Each structure stands twice: as C-alpha cells, then as structure tokens.
C-alpha cells in the first residue's frame, strides 16, 4: 500500500483532536471526510478506518511507541508509524517520520500481546470489571468488542418488505444478505455509504444493529396501543415500534434532550411514521401525567455503552469508573420513576447496550424488590454478548404489571 500525504495528514490531525481535545471520533471523522471534495470512496475509507483503528488500539500502539499523554504531533506520528509497521506498510521518506525501528516495534508487540489489557487495548479498570462480572466469558467478549461492527439495516415495513428492499439495493449496487432470526434485518456484504442511496432518501430503511432490532419486538406491541418510549433519543427503536404497530395507535417518544427529538421528527417524516408524538421531558410533571396510562413502556436506559465499543472505540478512553457508579444509580431511578406509567396488565421492557450484569439483570432484580417493582412480574430476559451473536452487546428484560 502506498501512503498519500494529504490522507495521512488528515489522519494525524484527526487523532490529535481525539487524543488531546477529547473530541468524539465519529464527529471528527465526519469533519475530516469533508476536507477534500476530490477524495474518492477509497480515500475516505482509508481516513475513516485508519483513525478508528488507531483509536481502537491506542493503548497498545502508544505503549509500543513509548509516548504518553498529552500527545504532541511528533508523538502521534510515532503512533502512526507503529500502526503502519504492524500492518506491513512501507513508510515513506517524509521529514515527519523518524527512522522507524521495525524490528523493535515487532518485538515489543510480541511481548505485549501476552498481556490482555495491552493485547485488547483497554484501560485496567474496564479489564478488571469485565473479568469480575463476566468471568471466563470476558476474554472472548473483549476480543469480539475489538472487531469492526458489520453494517446492518432494518427494512422499514411501513414502506417496503425486507425482500423487496434487498432487490432495490441490488439495483443501487449494494449487496446484502439475510440474518437468520432477525425478521427485518439485512447485512451489507461490503461496507458502503448507504445514506447516499435513493432507498435511504425514500425512507425504506434505517441503519440499526441486529441486536438493537430485537428490543422493539421484545416489547410485544400491538397496533392501536398506547406506547411510551421513555428515553427515545433520535428514535431508532421508536421508528421500529411504529412499524410493528403499522402506524396505528400512539407512541409518545420522550427524552430529556430536545435536540434529539428534533432529529427523531425528521427521521419519522422520512420513514412515514405518523403515530409518533415527541415530548420533551422538562419536569417530573411530564411523567406523572402518564401514570397508569400506557399499554407498553420501553426504557432504553442510559448505560456505560460497553456493548457497543466496536462502533464507538473511543468510548473506552472517555469512560471513568465513577461514571459507572453514577449511571447505575440513574438506571435504578429511571426504572422506578418510569415504571409507574404502565397500566395494570401492561408491559415494560428495560434495555441497555451494556454487557455488565450490574447494569442489567441485577438492576431488574433490585427493582422488583421496590414498592413499585412489587407490582410487576418478571416475564423473561435476554443477554446478548458480541462473541456469541456477532452483533452488539445488549440486554433486555420484559416485565408485566399485575392486574389490580
């Protein structure tokens, strides 16, 4: 592979922003890709994938490069040289690249991969908590979380069937395959920019991981029901609920972040989902108004996001142990507060994109011991680990409010 100066400089600039300015990798990459209109898909792919790759393996590469935060531009070039050497790429004779000790880099790599926290490039505390909560499964899981996530689409059945979507995408030169056990899902055979397709602009699909697609189904919604999505965000699962309800009934999509609900409105319009009513949560009154009113309630709770590290590799460097304690307290509070919206005989799903039992089953079991939780029965739950499913790590539990 021949390295092109303008592409590599873009990678270096992006890494400096992510490593030193605490910027989110996806936003940085988004901006980098607008840098040069002459770049083709291969150029853009190189920039995006190289940035993500180096962010993912940051701990391993910086250890080999012998650099520490804060990272100077010279430090970032050294990290880039480690990445290139380990991939067998011949480094050009540029003044930014110091003479690279290839043999020493490979020797150091061989030593470090015997130690899991370096091999899997994770902070000590995440490695410790992963092992504590998942035991022997952690080894396989952390390896799976370091692989690139596949691109999965969810056919919007308000407008098109999955089979028809597949042939429409084929006409746009995008090859997809079915995924057994996921009724609305299509997986891309090769990565492609699906957002530029006519099919996307027509609202025929959403990009949504296969594990995430199971959550709306787990809630067992029916057309005509009153459903509350309490942490709707930009609405990936809300839109799926609308499709499952065939646009009949009412979905109240709530969130504390108004800008996310604005994005949901835009997406709902494209998807042709007419039964969604976005509601900004401004105070506890907004929740009290709905006490005992909903047939179904979805709590897609805020969490550590450890199940989606494959698509957000920079999250492991931003997460702190104290955040985990704080988020567990928030989860417990949300579960107690929002469960009151479920009517007698109604159902509730508590879901997270975490793999830690302390954010998942343990939260549900603790809730069932509370005053409001005692009014619910545990129906079933599902824990999805990346190394078993091949998709994101997720958890979902179905509870039913007892008849009065």
Give me the pLDDT at residue 304, please.
97
Would you say residue 100 has pLDDT above 90? no
DSSP alpha helices (H): ranges in 33-113?
41-56, 58-65, 73-86, 102-112
What's the pLDDT tens digit per position in 313-349?
Answer: 999 999 999 999 999 999 999 999 999 999 999 999 9
Query: Residue 345: its pLDDT value, please?
Result: 97
What's 5-121's CATH class? mainly alpha
CA pair distance 338, 103, nearest whole angstrom: 58
Report residue 252: phi and psi, to 5°. Answer: -95, 115
pLDDT level of residue 81 (50, 70, 90 thresholds): very high
pLDDT beyond 80 at 360: yes
Q: How far is it, in rounded angstroms, from Cα 314 to Cα 316? A: 5
pLDDT of residue 278: 96
> What's the rounded mean pLDDT across residues 252-270?
96
End-to-end CA distance of the chain: 69
Mean pLDDT, residues 305-318: 95
pLDDT digits (tens, 9 = 90+) for 114-169: 999 999 999 999 999 999 999 999 999 999 999 999 999 999 999 999 999 999 99
Q: Tell me: the pLDDT tens digits for 368-402?
A: 999 999 999 999 999 999 999 999 999 999 999 99
What pLDDT, on the 0 to 100 scale, is given for residue 41? 87
Q: How far is 317 from 74, CA to CA, in rounded Å? A: 21
| Domain with residues 152-207, CATH architecture | 2-Layer Sandwich (3.30)
For position 1, what pLDDT does the model report? 81
Centre a 10 Å sphere on the Cβ of residue 239 and count the other Cβ atoms it contains. Answer: 29
pLDDT (tens digit per residue) in 30-79: 999 999 989 998 999 999 999 999 999 999 999 999 999 999 999 999 99
Mean pLDDT across the stretch 80-94? 93
Tell me what the pLDDT averaged over the chain comes to. Answer: 96
Encode pLDDT of 160-170 as tens digits.
999 999 999 99
pLDDT score of 2: 87
Residue 66 confidence (pLDDT): 95
The domain limits of the chain are 5-121, 152-207, 212-401
Q: Is the pLDDT of residue 404 over 80?
A: no
**249 CB contacts (<8 Å, ≥6 apart)?**
221, 222, 223, 224, 225, 226, 227, 275
pLDDT (0 to 100) of residue 98: 84
Q: Residues with catalytic annotation?
A: 353
For residue 79, how far is the Cα from the chain centroid? 26
User: Please, are residues 322 and 358 in contact by the beta-carbon 8 Å criterion?
Assistant: no
Q: How many whole angstroms from its chain centre is CA 41?
A: 24
Of residues 249, 242, 248, 244, the one with CA closest to residue 269: 242
For domain 212-401, give the CATH number: 3.40.50.150
Q: How much is the average pLDDT of 305-313?
A: 95
Q: Is the dihedral of CA 129, 133, 139, 143 positive or negative?
A: negative
**pLDDT category, 99, cuts 50, 70, 90?**
confident
């Amino acid at each position: 592979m021949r390295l092109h100066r303008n592409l590599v400089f873009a990678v270096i600039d992006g890494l400096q922003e992510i490593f030193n300015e605490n910027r989110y990798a996806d936003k940085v990459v988004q901006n980098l890709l607008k840098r040069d209109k002459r770049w083709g898909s291969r150029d853009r792919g190189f920039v995006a994938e190289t940035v993500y790759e180096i962010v993912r393996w940051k701990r391993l590469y910086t250890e080999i490069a012998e650099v520490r935060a804060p990272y100077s531009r010279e430090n970032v070039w050294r990290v880039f040289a480690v990445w290139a050497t380990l991939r067998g790429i011949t480094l050009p004779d540029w003044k930014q690249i110091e003479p690279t000790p290839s043999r020493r880099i490979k020797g150091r790599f061989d030593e470090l991969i015997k130690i899991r926290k370096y091999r899997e490039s994770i902070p000590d505390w995440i490695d410790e908590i992963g092992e504590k909560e998942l035991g022997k499964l952690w080894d396989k899981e952390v390896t799976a979380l370091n692989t690139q996530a596949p691109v999965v689409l969810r056919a919007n059945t308000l407008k098109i069937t999955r089979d028809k979507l597949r042939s429409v995408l084929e006409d746009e030169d995008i090859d997809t395959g079915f995924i057994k056990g996921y009724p609305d899902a299509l997986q891309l055979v090769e990565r492609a920019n699906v957002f530029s397709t006519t099919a996307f602009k027509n609202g025929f699909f959403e990009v949504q991981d296969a594990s995430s697609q199971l959550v709306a189904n787990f809630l067992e919604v029916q057309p005509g029901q009153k459903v509350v999505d309490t942490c709707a965000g930009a609405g990936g699962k809300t839109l799926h609920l609308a499709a499952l309800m065939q646009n009949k009934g009412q979905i109240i999509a709530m969130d504390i972040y108004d800008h996310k609900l604005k994005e949901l409105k835009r997406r709902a319009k494209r998807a042709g989902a007419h039964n969604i009513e976005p509601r900004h949560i401004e105070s506890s009154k907004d929740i009290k108004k709905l006490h005992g009113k909903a047939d179904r309630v979805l709590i897609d709770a805020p969490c550590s996001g450890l199940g989606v590290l494959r698509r957000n590799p920079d999250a492991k460097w931003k997460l702190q142990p104290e955040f985990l304690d704080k988020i567990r307290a928030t989860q417990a509070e949300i579960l107690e507060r929002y469960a009151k919206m479920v009517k007698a005989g109604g159902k509730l799903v508590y879901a997270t994109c975490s793999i830690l039992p302390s954010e998942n089953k343990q939260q549900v079991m603790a809730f069932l011991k509370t005053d409001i939780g005692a009014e619910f029965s545990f129906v079933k739950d599902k824990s999805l680990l990346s190394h078993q499913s091949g998709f994101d790590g997720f958890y979902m539990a179905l509870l039913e409010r007892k008849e009065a």
